Structure 1
Amino acid sequence: MDQPKIIIIGAGLAGLSAAQRLITKGLNNVHIIEAKNRIGGRVLTQEHGGSYIEIGAQWIHGEGSNPIYRIAHENGLLKKELREDHKNDEGDLFYTQHGQLAPIELVEDTDGILDDILEEANKFSRQNVPADKWDDSLGQYAREMFLRSGTMTGRGSSVQQIIEAIFNWKMALEKTENGCPSPDELSLYAWGQYLEYEGDDSVVLEHGYEPIIRVLAADIPEECLHLNKEVETIKWTSSTEDVPDAGNNAVVSPLVVGLGDGETQTADYVIFTCSLGILKSRAASMFIPPLPEDKTAAIDRMGFGTVNKIFLEYERPFWDKDCMDIELLWLPDKQPFFLNCLNNKHIEKYGEWYRSIHGFDVVDHHSNLLCGWIAGSEANVMEQIDDDVIIDVCHELLMRFTGVNDMSRPNKLIRSCWSSDPHVLGSYTYIKAGNTAGDCDVLSEALPSTQNPRLLFAGEATVKAYFSTTHGALLSGQREADRIIDHHEKTKHE
Structure 2
Amino acid sequence: MESSCPAVAIIGSGISGLAAAQQLYRQGIRNLRILEATGRTGGRIWSQEYGKGLVEIGAHWIHGPSTKNPVFQLSSQYDLLDPGSMSEENQLVEFDSPLIFSVTYSSSGKKINCETVSDVGKMYSSWLHKSKAFTHGGCGPHNSVGSFLKQEISGSYHDWDREQVDLKMSLLNAFLKTECCISGTHSMDDVALGPFGEYTTLPGLDCTFPRGYESLVNQIKLSLPNDIVLLNKPVRTVNWKGSFQGQDSRIYPVKLECENGETFLADHVIVTVPLGFLKECADRFVCPTLPYNKLEAIQNMGFGTNNKIFLEFEKPFWEPECYVIQLVWEGESPLVKSQINLQQDWIKKLSCLFVLQPPAQIGHVLCGFIAGNESEFMETLSKEEIHSTMTNLLRRFTGNPNLPPPINILCTHWHSKPYTHGSYSYVAVGSSGRDIDILAQPLPEKGDPSKPLQVLFAGEATHRNFYSTTHGALLSGWREAERLINHYSGLRSVGNWSKL
TM-score normalised by L of structure 1: 0.89
Distance 1:436 1:121 in 2: 15
Q: Return the offset for 1:91.
A: 6.0
Q: Which residue of 1 aligns with 2:192?
A: 187
SS at match of 1:418: coil
Q: Which residue of 1 aligns with 2:143?
A: 136
Pairing partner for 1:155 from 145, 161, 168 = 161
Is it true that 1:72 corresponds to 2:75 in the alignment?
Answer: yes
Q: Which amino acid aligns with 1:196?
A: T
Contact 1:271 1:455 in 2 (8 A): yes
Contact 2:342 2:377 in 1 (8 A): no
Going from structure 1 to structure 2, the CA distance change for 1:394 and 1:274 (only over 3 Å counts) comes to same
Q: Return the offset for 1:206.
A: 2.2
SS at match of 2:415: helix
Contact 1:445 1:457 in 2 (8 A): yes
Distance 2:101 2:200 in 1: 29
SS at match of 1:195: coil
Is it true that 1:486 corresponds to 2:491 in the alignment?
Answer: no
Q: Which residue of 1 aligns with 2:377?
A: 381
Distance 2:419 2:57 in 1: 15
Going from structure 1 to structure 2, the CA distance change for 1:410 and 1:105 (only over 3 Å counts) comes to same
After superposition, give the CA deviation of every residue in 1:397-428 in whole Å (9 maximum; x if it has no partner). Answer: 11111112221111211111000111211000
Contact 2:297 2:431 in 1 (8 A): no
Q: Which residue of 1 aligns with 2:246?
A: none
Going from structure 1 to structure 2, the CA distance change for 1:349 and 1:182 (only over 3 Å counts) comes to closer
SS at match of 2:43: coil
TM-score normalised by L of structure 2: 0.88
Contact 1:162 1:331 in 2 (8 A): yes
SS at match of 2:210: coil
Contact 2:9 2:33 in 1 (8 A): yes
Q: Return the offset for 1:190.
A: 1.1
Distance 1:470 1:205 in 2: 13
Q: Which residue of 2 aligns with 1:339?
A: none
After superposition, give the CA deviation of every residue in 1:196-229 in whole Å (9 maximum; x if it has no partner). Answer: 22333x2222222111112211211101010011
Is it true that 1:24 corresponds to 2:26 in the alignment?
Answer: yes
Pairing partner for 2:387 from 368, 376, 391 = 391
Q: Return the offset for 1:362.
A: 1.0
Q: Number of residue pairs matched? A: 464
Equivalence map 1:340-489=2 (5 Å) = 350-366=343-359, 367-450=363-446, 452-489=452-489
Distance 2:392 2:285 in 1: 45
SS at match of 1:456: strand
Regions of 4+ moved over 4 Å: 86-91
Going from structure 1 to structure 2, the CA distance change for 1:411 and 1:253 (only over 3 Å counts) comes to same
Distance 2:67 2:128 in 1: 23
Going from structure 1 to structure 2, the CA distance change for 1:254 and 1:434 (only over 3 Å counts) comes to closer
Q: Which residue of 2 aligns with 1:298?
A: 297
Distance 2:473 2:232 in 1: 22
Is it true that 1:203 corresponds to 2:207 in the alignment?
Answer: yes
Q: Which residue of 2 aligns with 1:310?
A: 309
Q: Return the offset for 1:90.
A: 7.7
Distance 2:268 2:251 in 1: 10
After superposition, give the CA deviation of every residue in 1:237-294 in whole Å (9 maximum; x if it has no partner). Answer: 2x8xx7xxxxxxxx98420000111111100000000000110111111111100000
Distance 1:192 1:333 in 2: 28
SS at match of 1:447: coil
Is it true that 1:146 corresponds to 2:148 in the alignment?
Answer: no
Going from structure 1 to structure 2, the CA distance change for 1:274 and 1:403 (only over 3 Å counts) comes to same
SS at match of 1:429: strand
Contact 1:110 1:151 in 2 (8 A): no
Distance 2:213 2:60 in 1: 7
Distance 2:466 2:274 in 1: 15
Q: Which residue of 2 aligns with 1:289?
A: 288
Distance 1:307 1:262 in 2: 34
Gaps in structure 2 of 5+ consecutive residues:
244-249, 334-339
Distance 1:173 1:13 in 2: 26
Gaps in structure 1 of 5+ consecutive residues:
243-250, 335-346
Q: Return the offset for 1:126.
A: 2.6
After superposition, give the CA deviation of every residue in 1:122-169 in whole Å (9 maximum; x if it has no partner). Answer: 1x2233324xx3311001111112333x35524133x21110011101
Q: Return the offset for 1:350.
A: 2.9
Q: Which amino acid aligns with 2:457?
A: F
Q: Which residue of 2 aligns with 1:127?
A: 136
Q: Which amino acid aligns with 2:112?
A: A
Contact 1:233 1:287 in 2 (8 A): yes
Contact 1:189 1:434 in 2 (8 A): no
Contact 2:349 2:371 in 1 (8 A): yes
Contact 1:314 1:410 in 2 (8 A): yes
Going from structure 1 to structure 2, the CA distance change for 1:294 and 1:120 (only over 3 Å counts) comes to same
Equivalence map 1:166-181=2 (5 Å) = 166-181=171-186
Q: Which residue of 1 aligns with 2:336?
A: none
Distance 1:448 1:282 in 2: 20
| Sequence identity (%) | 34
Q: Return the offset for 1:10.
A: 0.2
Equivalence map 1:19-98=2 (5 Å) = 19-62=21-64, 63-81=66-84, 92-98=102-108
After superposition, give the CA deviation of every residue in 1:371-400 in whole Å (9 maximum; x if it has no partner). Answer: 111000111000000101101111111111
Q: Which residue of 2 aligns with 1:165?
A: 170
Coordinate RMSD, CA, aligned = 2.2
Q: Return the offset for 1:480.
A: 0.5
Q: Which amino acid aligns with 2:81?
A: L
Contact 2:195 2:432 in 1 (8 A): yes
Distance 2:310 2:467 in 1: 26
Q: Return the offset for 1:43.
A: 0.3
Equivalence map 1:232-311=2 (5 Å) = 232-237=236-241, 253-311=252-310
After superposition, give the CA deviation of every residue in 1:277-318 in whole Å (9 maximum; x if it has no partner). Answer: 110111111111100000000001011100000001112222
Distance 2:176 2:341 in 1: 25
